[in-house]
Structure 1
């Protein structure tokens, strides 16, 4: 199958991207509006882009109407600050609920029932339960294409790391983190690790084997047609 993305609309290309680039790390972004209303949103177009200074990027699309800019982007653009909170398994459902498109005057920490913690050097609060938070200031914002999308580059001013996760020589105990990532319509738990080469017997036993499920649904299930999938339909 060869597909020319220029013959498809944005939604069709989006489906191919999110089904091919996986698992994607989730930036659970907290911001403050100019009116000091706290906002939370999960962003899975997210990666590290620099080391000195440490730099991350997040890409933001409009709301589900395809036109209105997301509160996360507006707040970042207007205040120049944001926090990236790392999501682990304990926080997965709260993170998913924060994808709901709340009104701009709603404090999403309060709506979801999450406790705020004060950041060290930026104004937006961080998620207190998050194991790692990165306090960022905007380095630059780049508009992408003609669909109202933007890439935000942020310099990490402070890392806030739960003490037991910080190891000798400045490492993170990734084995204890229980980080989750985004697939296409679902999430995945990071729960195994390996180095190469992998034993041939293991490779053979896993060849074409489908992933396991933690939620009890049958193999092949997808929430893509349910209200719990999209940002605009995430149930509370």
Structure 2
């Protein structure tokens, strides 16, 4: 089947995109409210897009009545937010943070989560999260009913148990983030496997690369 996205209604576009682009990592985003309490909201339109500069992006839909969500309002006001990654231990609390609560509700307290002060931004990270990124807004792109927030990571926190013995790479036995599929379906990364390029093709690939100095001399 073919679908003309220029003519398709928005709910159908959403259904198709979220059904077939997945799994999508979940950002449990924490911000500071005007009253100083902690706001937390899960986002599955999220990913990392660069390391130099270190960039993450959030796609945040407006409320049904068109109003901006508290997360967007807080990010606009402060220019800061925290991305907390979600594993199975955090999954049920993440769902609670996704409820449509009043703006004056401290969502970390509501979900029974532990706020931890950040080092470089004025927002709390979640103590139960295996990994958290402190971010400052790089830019915000506004669409009629959606906001794209592009943030630069300025600090990263990783639970020691999630790293290998050398402290360089993730330990897949202990860091198993969950991701969203479609509707209320999620997946966890407890079944991992490696795929490597064939060794003989790596040698062939290397042979095709001409050193820059030789290209300049030619």
**Structure-1 residue corresponding to 2:10:** 10
CA contact (8 A) 2:133 2:154 kept: yes
Which runs of 5 or more residues in structure 2 are unaligned? 197-218
Aligned residues: 194
Q: d(CA) in 2 for partners of 1:192 and 1:113? A: 29
Distance of aligned partners of 1:76 and 1:4 in 2 relative to their CA distance in 1, 3 Å threshold: same
**Structure-2 residue corresponding to 1:55:** 55
Q: d(CA) in 1 for partners of 2:94 and 2:55? A: 23
Q: Is residue 149 from structure 1 mapped to residue 152 from structure 2 by the alignment? A: no
Report the Cα offset of residue 114 of structure 1.
Answer: 1.2
Q: d(CA) in 2 for partners of 1:154 and 1:27? A: 13
TM-score (norm 2): 0.85
What does 1:79-98 correspond to in 2, within 5 Å? 79-98=78-97
**Structure-2 residue corresponding to 1:183:** 181
Report the Cα offset of residue 38 of structure 1.
Answer: 1.2
CA contact (8 A) 1:33 1:79 kept: no
Report the Cα offset of residue 66 of structure 1.
Answer: 4.5
Which runs of 5 or more residues in structure 1 are unaligned? 198-236
Rg (Cα) greater in structure = 2
CA contact (8 A) 2:115 2:127 kept: yes
What does 1:121-160 correspond to in 2, within 5 Å? 121-144=120-143, 146=144, 148-160=145-157
Shift >6 Å, 4+ stretches: none
CA contact (8 A) 1:39 1:107 kept: yes
TM-score (norm 1): 0.78
CA contact (8 A) 1:57 1:151 kept: yes
**Structure-2 residue corresponding to 1:26:** 26
Q: d(CA) in 2 for partners of 1:46 and 1:73? A: 14
- 159-168 vs 80-89, which moves further: 159-168
Distance of aligned partners of 1:174 and 1:55 in 2 relative to their CA distance in 1, 3 Å threshold: farther
Q: Structure 1, residues 34-74: CA drift from partner, whole Å, max 9, x if none?
A: 221211000001111111221111110012x1411111111
CA contact (8 A) 2:172 2:190 kept: no
**Structure-2 residue corresponding to 1:116:** 115
Distance of aligned partners of 1:196 and 1:170 in 2 relative to their CA distance in 1, 3 Å threshold: closer
